[in-house]
Every structure is written in C-alpha cells, then in structure tokens.
Amino acid sequence: MRGYPDIRGLAAACLLWMAFAHGASATGVEPAKDLRIDPAPCLAAVLAQDDDKTLNVCGALIDNEKTEKADRIKALIARAALYERKDMTERAIADYDSVLRLDPALADILNARGELWRKKGDLRKALADFAAAIKLNPEHTAAKANHKSLAQELERLGALKAVAGKPSFNCATARRKVEKAICANPELADLDREVHGSYVRAASEDLSPGQARTLRREQEEFIARRNASFGRPGYDLQKAMRERLRRLNGADGY
C-alpha cells in the first residue's frame, strides 16, 4: 500500500477545526473571518467511498483558487486514486503531475506516478520516477522494488533488441538458399532463433536417453526437410517453422 498523505488524519483535523469553531460561537466569541474553503465535504466523500461525490466535491475544491495548498494536494491525491481504480490512467497521471508541481518532494507520489507510467508502457519515465522517489527517500521499499524489477526488464528488452532480426546461425557464412532467405527476412530470422532456443531448452531438460535421441532426430529431420523443401511449389517456410516451434513448446506432448 502506498504511503499517500493520511486522508483519515486530515478528516480528524477538519473535525477538530469544526468543533473549535462551534465552541467559539457557543461562548459568544466571534471567530475571525476565515476565507479558506472547507475540505470536509471532499474528505467525507472519500471516506464514504462515494466516487461520484468525490469527483464532484473534490473537483470543486481543486478548482477553487482559495483552497489551501495542503487541502488541494490531498484532494488531488484522492481524485487520482479514484481515476486509477477506474483505469483512467491519463487523468490519474495528470493529477499526480499537479501534486508534484505543488510539492516535488513527495516520494510516494513519484512512485505512484511511476507505476502508472509503467502501466502505460512508458518504461523510461517510470524508471525516472522510481529513481527520483528513491533519491528523496532511500528507504522507500516500494520504489526500490519497482526500480529493480523495471531495470531488469529494460535490460532484458535491450538484450532482445540486440538480437532482433538475427537467426540462430551466422549469416556471414550462410550458403544455402533457405539460410539466405531467413537472413533476408527479420520475421523468419526471429522464428529461426525461437525454434533453436526452444530446441536447446527442451534438450536441457531431464530426458531419458531415448527421449533425447528422439528430440535430436526430429530436429535434424526438420532441418533436413526444410533445406530440401525450400523453393519447391507448395512449401511454406514460415508455416513449417511455426509448426516446429509449436511442437517444441509442448503442444504435442514434448
């Protein structure tokens, strides 16, 4: 659970303020005129989990220029959380942006916004937010976990990008027509690498000697058939490779 500013604590503070104002009137002492906008309706709507009312009254609190900074921040966080629950990611991010413009030192909000950037697929912005949260609070457990997992994901994606469009063999030494065709087509190259990778994984499993021989024979037969059939009428190289990949990945009992 993220460490948002304590909404319940703010509610208690507002109730205390209202009790003080009521007590002052009861003793006949006229309280000083207070031009602040009352945050109590927004807080009440949040605590009641009334989404429609939260959007209405907290939105009014956010939009009113007389709202104090602390109350505006809490209302923005409440509305952003609501938007997030409703999968309205863009609006949630916009509200977190507003919060951070008001107070850039909120590590919890940086982490929350980072999670939304990650959900949207903007991994670079997500990583930057997690890093900023950790800089503000080096002991921020959620931000540290998010940063670590995302850094690992980016490293993996970088490795995949480095081999994208490259087959399992060296195209510089390719001699067969089928190999040259695979090298010339990034989609076929990726398929070839996937087939080879799945074969290596299958061969590394705890197989009996008979199973290992069968797997090796079938792979050799697939390569031989591919080499002999390429270019002949009716032969679909991509289809044959996808079928081999499907079998290697277990669809037929491997």
Inter-CA distances, 154 with 126, 140, 197, Å: 11, 21, 21
pLDDT in tens, 95-107: 999 999 999 999 9
Residue 20: count of CB within 10 angstroms of its CB: 10
97 exposure class (CB count in 10 Å sphere: 0-12, 13-18, 19+): middle
- For position 246, what pLDDT does the model report? 93
* Residue-level pLDDT at 155: 76
Q: Which two tokens stand for residue 25?
A: 């009137």
pLDDT at residue 218 in the model: 95
Half-sphere exposure for 97 (CA within 13 Å, toward CB)? 9
| Model confidence, pTM | 0.54
Domains of the chain, with CATH numbers?
A: 7-161 (1.25.40.10), 171-248 (no CATH)
The answer to whether the CB of 62 falls within 8 A of the CB of 79 is: yes
CB 58 within 8 A of CB 79: yes
219 and 199 Cβ atoms separated by less than 8 Å:
yes
Give the pLDDT of the chain (254 residues) as one tens digit per residue.
444 444 334 334 343 333 333 333 333 444 434 445 788 888 888 888 888 998 998 999 999 989 999 999 999 999 999 999 999 999 999 999 999 999 999 999 999 999 999 999 888 899 899 999 999 998 999 999 999 988 888 777 776 677 778 898 889 989 999 999 999 999 999 999 889 888 888 887 888 999 999 999 999 999 999 999 999 999 999 999 999 999 998 744 44
Q: Which two tokens stand for residue 192?
A: 């070839």
Q: For 150-209, write each residue's pLDDT tens digit.
A: 888 877 777 667 777 889 888 998 999 999 999 999 999 999 988 988 888 888 788 899
pLDDT at 36: 56
pLDDT at residue 151, as a whole number: 84
